[in-house]
Structure 1
Amino acid sequence: MQADTLVGALVLGLVEGLTEFIPVSSTGHILLLGHFIGFESTGKTFEVLIQLGAILAILTVYFQRLLSIALALPHQASARRFVAGILLAFLPAAIIGVMAHGFIKAVLFESPALICTTLILGGIVLLVVDKMTLRVRHTNAMDYPLWLCLAIGCFQTLAMVPGVSRSGATIAGALLLGTDKRSAAEFSFFLAMPTMAGAFAYDLYKNRDILSLDDATVIGVGFIAAFVTAVFVVRRLLDFVSRHGFAPFAWWRIAVGLAGFAGLYLVG
């Protein structure tokens, strides 16, 4: 295994952790960056499997809250409704992810120009939504009604296209459906857990026969880097969003998309 492969895995893992929970598309970032630094992973598994680091970051930061929800399940209807809402929101992505897995990995993951386009368009949408005056009817992610959870889950399916952003799609959808910014971001955190865990398990199952020990080492480096940076982001994102909204992320998306197009034009 070459040292530059491990360095590339480290860099991409850091980017994954920094971008997974903000609405800029972590997958779009690491696929685009990987394209320009010449990073190739077996079956494009690295880009999916290192998300486990981000999942563990949420579990670490939200451990006490998750534990309290688990303990409340037998005797508290609100806890059961919240868990049901998260599972309901996860369902659309699970169905489409299984049905379109091959197309997503073989076609969409291999389209840098598409990623640049969706980064820019998603940034514009996020700017528009952030500036809209919307009626807020839901301010507590724990109390979202089931219909709202399912609708947010439908928005999440848009993120099957790399560059759209899972968190961006769910947050923008939640805002349009009447939530406030902080609870929308928090619900996106919780929804990330079954979504990314499901993607991890299914991708590992589909590629179990082609992965080697070297692949496991590269994935491990990316996983650790993603975990460390994701913990930092999860602990600070909600306060940042409450103060600044989503416009900074929208402008970042547009800048990265334009830079990506410039890079494709100059070096291919």
Structure 2
Amino acid sequence: MTIIDVVILSLIEGATEFLPVSSTGHLILTSALLGYGEDPFLKAFNIIIQSGAIMAVLVLYWRRFLPNLPFYSRLAIAFTPAAVIGFLVKDKIDAILGASSVSIVAWALIIGGIVLVLTDSERFRGRSDKADVVDFSFARCLALGVLQCLAFIPGVSRSGATIIGGLWLGMNQKAAAEFSFFLGVPTLLAASGYKILKLIRSSGGEGPDALPPLDGHHWFLLGLGIVLSFVFALIAIRFFMALVQKYGFRHFGYYRIVVGVAILTMVYGGWL
């Protein structure tokens, strides 16, 4: 892995982690285009640099993460389904679907894009009246957490599922986007921590998924990736919120559809 690869992957992670376009799907596609395939260090890199994107949310919204029982109680309820279901069946889902299947990513992008375009309509905008997560009932937070579990399918997009769910359940566009950011913090921390532990256990072992011993160069690449992911995520979140409040989410839906069709064209054309 070169520094240019680090910049590209960090840009994709930081710019797409909190947008409804599937950062995982983009990283899988980019890794395939770069020719890395199932490289164990690349898997670890893509997981670890998520910490930079998480820090961006904490920096931009630090006031929201101050002690606040109504906020944290709802966040905990929304996080619980992903924690439980992820622990029980995430590995099985990856084994069945193929964690890095480019075709699955493409179809998920297309279907999710269509749903996002249909959801971002005047009908949903007109009925969305909840301005903050603390206005939500515990039942709605739980429902939103269940919808987040759709993101176990590569290409669906965790933020896309929660934003769509938020709009369906009565949030306005700003609140749906921000709650997606907030819910991403514990979800990504838990998912990343679990995957990192699995990688550490495989470190120095044998087999295609075993993580090789890390040297100074590897640690430099990881540190650079975290910093770049943090910077790119800061910019992306600011841009995203300004765009959403002015134009809504439908343009991200169109983008998903175009990218998904392009990927399928490359796959079935033998170019990918």
Q: CA deviation at 1:56?
A: 0.6
Q: Is the 8 A contact 2:74 2:134 kept in 1?
A: no
- Other-structure match for 1:168: 160
Asked if 1:213 corresponds to 2:218, the answer is no
Q: Which runs of 4+ in 1 moved over 6 A?
A: none
Determine which of 230, 246, 250 is the counterpart of 2:249. 246
- 1:178-197 equivalences under 5 Å are 178-197=170-189
- Other-structure match for 1:114: 104
Q: Is the 8 A contact 1:8 1:39 kept in 2?
A: no
CA distance in 2, matches of 1:154, 1:118: 18
Q: CA deviation at 1:104?
A: 4.5
- Other-structure match for 1:83: 72
CA distance in 1, matches of 2:164, 2:98: 22
- Other-structure match for 1:177: 169
Q: Is the 8 A contact 2:74 2:133 kept in 1?
A: no
Q: Is the 8 A contact 1:53 1:223 kept in 2?
A: yes
Higher mean C-alpha deviation, range 125-134 or range 244-253:
125-134
- 1:3-152 equivalences under 5 Å are 3=2, 6-40=3-37, 41-42=39-40, 44-67=43-66, 70=67, 79-106=68-95, 107-131=97-121, 133-134=123-124, 135-152=127-144
TM-superposition CA deviations, 1:20-63 (whole Å, max 9, x none): 11100010111111111112431733322221111011111112
Q: CA RMSD in A?
A: 1.8
Determine which of 251, 265, 268 is the counterpart of 1:262. 265
SS at match of 1:207: helix
TM-superposition CA deviations, 1:199-242 (whole Å, max 9, x none): 11111111113243155444333222211100112223222211
Closer, same or farther: CA 179–65 of 1 in aligned 2, 3 Å: closer
Aligned partner of 1:42: which letter?
A: P
Q: CA deviation at 1:196?
A: 0.5
Q: CA deviation at 1:247?
A: 0.9
SS at match of 2:120: helix
Q: CA deviation at 1:178?
A: 1.2
SS at match of 2:99: helix
TM-score (norm. length: structure 1): 0.89
Q: Is the 8 A contact 2:120 2:249 kept in 1?
A: yes
CA distance in 1, matches of 2:242, 2:135: 20
- Other-structure match for 2:149: 157
CA distance in 2, matches of 1:89, 1:108: 26
Q: Is the 8 A contact 1:118 1:162 kept in 2?
A: yes
Higher mean C-alpha deviation, range 43-52 or range 160-169:
43-52
Q: Is the 8 A contact 1:82 1:144 kept in 2?
A: no
Identical aligned residues as a percent: 40
Aligned residue pair count = 255
CA distance in 2, matches of 1:219, 1:255: 31
Q: Is the 8 A contact 2:74 2:138 kept in 1?
A: yes
Q: Is the 8 A contact 1:48 1:203 kept in 2?
A: yes
CA distance in 1, matches of 2:197, 2:60: 28
Gaps in structure 2 of 5+ consecutive residues: 204-210
